Structure 1
Amino acid sequence: MSTSFSTPPSVAAQIARLPELPMAEIRALWQKLVGGETPTHNRQFLERRIAYRLQEAEFRKVDANLLDRNQRRIESLVETGKVKKRDRDYRPAAGTVLVREYKGVEYRVIATADGHYDFHGRMFPSLSMIAREITGMRWSGPLFFGLRPPTNAKAKPSTKKRGAR
């Protein structure tokens, strides 16, 4: 006799299902995730807050320090009135899918919980190694995948015409 184990739907699947649920289930989810009665009958409001709570619960499991780091940044903003520059840590949260089109081909990379990246079923320790695999050249992985803006190291060309008086 074989036993079938089913895994719970992913957070993304749970969120995608919210608009299809009857209002009674939305209220039950609210009570389970937030507690108490729903503060409004506005379904869109409730779905958004439920989606946030589902993600919050899931990502706290994946990276317990994520919300704590964000809370410290918020407290620093309130205290100083300034947003501190982000650390040079461009690692996306586990489960993030990075998509990059290069020479007409779309490439997908998935960030894993252990800080590595899954590219075509192979694990890589850095995005730069994947960018090199794709292009054949050395690239900054965070730059290649759009996690970091390009630096303006090169001066912009002058708009003045030379030789004109």
Structure 2
Amino acid sequence: MNISPRTPATPPSVVAQIGRLPELKMPEIKALWQKLFGADTPNYNRPFLERRIAYRLQEVEFRKVDAKLLERNQRRIAALLETGKVEKSDRDTRPAAGTVLTREYRDVEYCVVATADGQYEFNGRMYPSLSMIAREITGTRWSGPLFFGLKGPAKPEVSTRKGLRR
């Protein structure tokens, strides 16, 4: 059972599927539960069922293996074994697939979903970087990870002399 209309070439995104859950009738919710969990619904509490279905849809979609993530993790493990620490430059600010990033900007809340292929879904479109989304929202160039709070602003280095900053 599909919970949103689609064409054969473009399956509905997980975000779209989850967004349509409140529109489904209870028999459709039960049928979707049966499909996803292989059992009858445990109760008739609709908010509970919708939350569990939304979680399962994300689990199914984002369970796919990300080759780039595996490669980065192998490099990080090798560096950790060799030096005993992970280099700062090798730290990854890319969120895990399925992560929903939310940012309020000028009294408007914006939501972005990280996808399994390393892209980001925003307003029904795919973007290769958070910086492109931040630029679309603000109209100016921003560091996407900084704009969405994945990393903090650079801290100025403190000189060895008291109170002096470089």
Q: Normalising by the residue count of structure 1, what TM-score does the alignment of the two structures yield?
A: 0.50
The higher relative CO (CA closer than 8 Å, separation ≥ 6) is in: 2
Q: Highest CA radius of gyration, 1 or 2?
A: 1
